[in-house]
Amino acid sequence: MEKILATDLDGTLFYPKDTKEMIAKPNLFFLQSFIDQGGKVILISGRSHVYCQKTVEKIGRPCATISYNGACIFDGQKMIYENAIKNDEAKDIIEEISKTYHNSGIFLMTENGLSIHLKYKNRLIRKGFKFYYKCQGIYAENLLSEEADYEKELKEGHIYKIMIYFGLGKRMQNRAKQANAILRNTYSNVECNWSKNVIEITAKDCSKAKSLATLLDAMNEKDSEIYVVGDSGNDISLFKAYPKNSFCMGHAPDAVKKYAKYTIEKFEDLSRYIFEK
């Protein structure tokens, strides 16, 4: 039976971080060995399509990709699915959330990159954020750093994902988690997922589990042995949909780990479960 591994990126394939090589050598070696032995890899992430393709280049092997938590599905050769949030709808959601939760910032992910709106207009704060983002190095998406960029993308861009940022610290993470539970019941026309101190919003039916099922169907891979691995709230749908071979990283919140069958400390630990079968 053919084996397929669907893996998250940040906190999973990119754990531990390697700021020079993107993917730590043990993780890269495992992934390449898995593919060379006949397995297939699907990168399934909240990151952009462009960044996912950079990751495929680093792996040096063919991979399908699911980006923006499921808003874009690429089968390795062509884009087979795209779904963006309507601009007017995005504007209404952002205004309502900002008024209710007084969150620290909003990030928009569009085809042009990542644009930001910060609650506080102080230019030093914006410069501080730009410096912090620059320090992400190889892990940074294309940043559209000015408020004018954000306004333009909100009005005209293809908004694949909205990220509601609550701030740093455990208290803000808990607040984001609580707010996400409320938003999931309030906005039935979008998908909401909690990821530490951020709530991620995509168009309706753009979840990792639904997008993976769509891709597997397009690839005619329904009968394959599916392995899924992740570390955050947007991976819970995968754990629920593919419970038999579901893996969560050990540093993930307990609220996420409880949905996976297995907990692993390092990505390369997957080899013990996959290669021994």
State the DSSP string of the chain: --EEEEE-IIIIIT-S-BTTTBS-HHHHHHHHHHHHTT-EEEEE-SS-HHHHHHHHHHHTS--EEEEGGGTEEE-SSSEEEE--B-HHHHHHHHHHHHHHH--SEEEEEETTEEEEEESS--HHHHHHHHHHHHTTGGGPPPEE-SHHHHHHHHHHS-B-EEEEE--SSHHHHHHHHHHHHHHHHH-TTEEEEEETTEEEEEETT--HHHHHHHHHHHTT-TTSEEEEEE-SGGGHHHHHHSGGGEEEETTS-HHHHTTSSEEESSGGGHHHHHTT-
Is the pTM for the entire model greater than 0.85? yes
The ranges of the chain annotated as CATH 3.40.50.1000 are 3-83+206-274
Provide, rounded to the nearest whole percent, the portion of the chain with pLDDT above 70.
99
Q: Work out the burial of residue 186: count CB atoms within 10 Å of its CB; fewer than 13 is exposed, 13-18 middle, 19 or more buried.
A: middle
Q: What is the pLDDT of residues 116-125, one digit of tens each?
A: 998 877 677 6
Structure tokens at 78: 């062509």
Q: What is the pLDDT of residue 104?
A: 86
> 125 near 117, Cβ under 8 Å?
no
Average pLDDT estimate for 54-72: 98
What's the one-letter identity of residue 187? Y
Q: What is the pLDDT of residue 275?
A: 79
Residues 3-83+206-274, CATH architecture: 3-Layer(aba) Sandwich (3.40)
Query: Where do we find the tokens 């963006």?
Result: 84
Residue 276 predicted with pLDDT over 80: no
Q: What is the pLDDT of residue 120?
A: 73
Confidence of residue 1 (pLDDT cuts 50, 70, 90): confident
The ranges of the chain annotated as CATH 3.30.1240.10 are 87-203
Which carries the bigger pLDDT value, residue 176 or residue 13? 13
> 264 near 24, Cβ under 8 Å?
no
Residue 236 predicted with pLDDT over 80: yes
Q: What is the pLDDT of residue 187?
A: 86
Q: Which of 177, 186, 181, 240 is nearest to 208 (CA)?
A: 240
CATH number of 87-203: 3.30.1240.10
Residue 221 predicted with pLDDT over 70: yes
> 165 near 103, Cβ under 8 Å?
yes
d(CA 90, CA 107): 12
